[in-house]
Amino acid sequence: MALKKLRPITAGTRHRLSPGFEDITESKPEKSLVLTIKKTGGRNNSGRMTMRYIGGGHKQKTRLIDFKRDRFGIPAVVKSIEYDPTRTARIAKLYYADGLKSYIIAPHGIKVGQTVISGDNIAPEVGNALPLSKIPIGTIVHNVEVKPGGGASIARSAGSFVQLVAREAVYATLKMPSGEMRNVLVRCLATVGAVSNAEHMNESVGKAGRSRWRGVRPRTRPVAMNPVDHPMGGGEGRASGGHPRSRNGLLAKGKKTRHPKKYSDGLIIARRKK
């Protein structure tokens, strides 16, 4: 899928890089697999604003994605590649041989009419879900589980992937999108291939109004605030604001916020590059 550079007939289209939708084959979602999203405007149940810069936006319906892929041994045919307004990747609609329908994250290169399957003793082809113990070393995978049977939680966004680099005893070593090397149990499922829509990272919104259509309100710079509103506010004239920090006073740009005794520390072999 290639990005579209629009003709600069308005200020909003001058710098816009729009996604191409040539890979999408169906425009209406499966009714049994969608849920309406209730907008909150950043307010909680008592009406108080608890998240800033949220409000408005177009109505959206979220698609129910099958991240577990636990229908082992049942083949499914890819009926369509669809757009999902709530995520960056494309989604694929599957029709299982027993009549069930479901959505999965569409891998890069998957085609309508292709058959995918999940299980232990199947071919490691694009779209198939296998345990890490059955996937050849060096394979590119996505939708990786952290706990067996818990559903995919690693490499789910557009263009992301993980590489299986080693296997020893009960652990498989994965090279994460960040460059981090970590161990995951070999019983965890992963889907072969990379996530679709890799060009998403190069998209340009083009104008502020398009962000408003997505429910994002304008963000106020901390240095433009008063001291009562932010630690970086105040000062005479255009003051720089001092050391970059959050509204709560936590230092930004370098302060480590990870818990020093996190449970997964023992599974991380090499940290991501700084």
For the chain, the C-alpha Rg in angstroms (whole number) is: 22
Among 151, 236, 144, 233, CA closest to 193: 144
- Is pTM beyond 0.85? Reply is yes
Decide if pLDDT at 274 tops 80: no
- Residue 200 sits at φ, ψ, to 5 deg, of -55, -35
107 is written with which tokens? 């891998």
Give tens-digit pLDDT for 33-90. 999 999 999 999 999 999 999 999 999 999 999 999 999 999 999 999 999 999 999 9
Q: Which residue has the higher pLDDT, 74 or 241?
A: 74
Decide if pLDDT at 102 tops 80: yes
Give tens-digit pLDDT for 154-209. 999 999 999 999 999 999 999 999 999 999 999 999 999 999 999 999 999 999 99
Kindly list the structural domains of the chain, giving each domain's residue range(s) and its CATH number in brackets, ordered by start. Answer: 4-201 (2.40.50.140), 220-265 (4.10.950.10)
Decide if pLDDT at 216 tops 80: yes
Decide if pLDDT at 1 tops 70: no
For the chain, give the percent of residues with pLDDT over 70.
99
Tokens 């041994």 appear where?
Answer: 73
Among 199, 201, 202, 180, CA closest to 270: 180
Per-residue pLDDT at 14: 95
Interatomic CA distance for residues 167 and 137, integer angstroms = 8
Interatomic CA distance for residues 143 and 5, integer angstroms = 31
Give tens-digit pLDDT for 113-143. 999 999 999 999 999 999 999 999 999 999 9
151 is written with which tokens? 């559903």
Among 127, 33, 34, 25, CA closest to 75: 127
Between the CA of residue 208 and those of 27, 144, 217, what are the distances in Å?
26, 35, 9
Assess contact for 192 and 108: CB atoms under 8 A.
no
Interatomic CA distance for residues 102 and 34, integer angstroms = 10
The residues, any chain, with a CB within 8 Å of residue 208's CB and separated by 6 or more, are: 218
Assess contact for 164 and 192: CB atoms under 8 A.
no
User: DSSP assignment, residue 200?
Assistant: G
C-alpha of 52 from chain center: 22
Decide if pLDDT at 263 tops 80: yes
Give tens-digit pLDDT for 16-29. 999 989 999 999 99
89 is written with which tokens? 């990747």
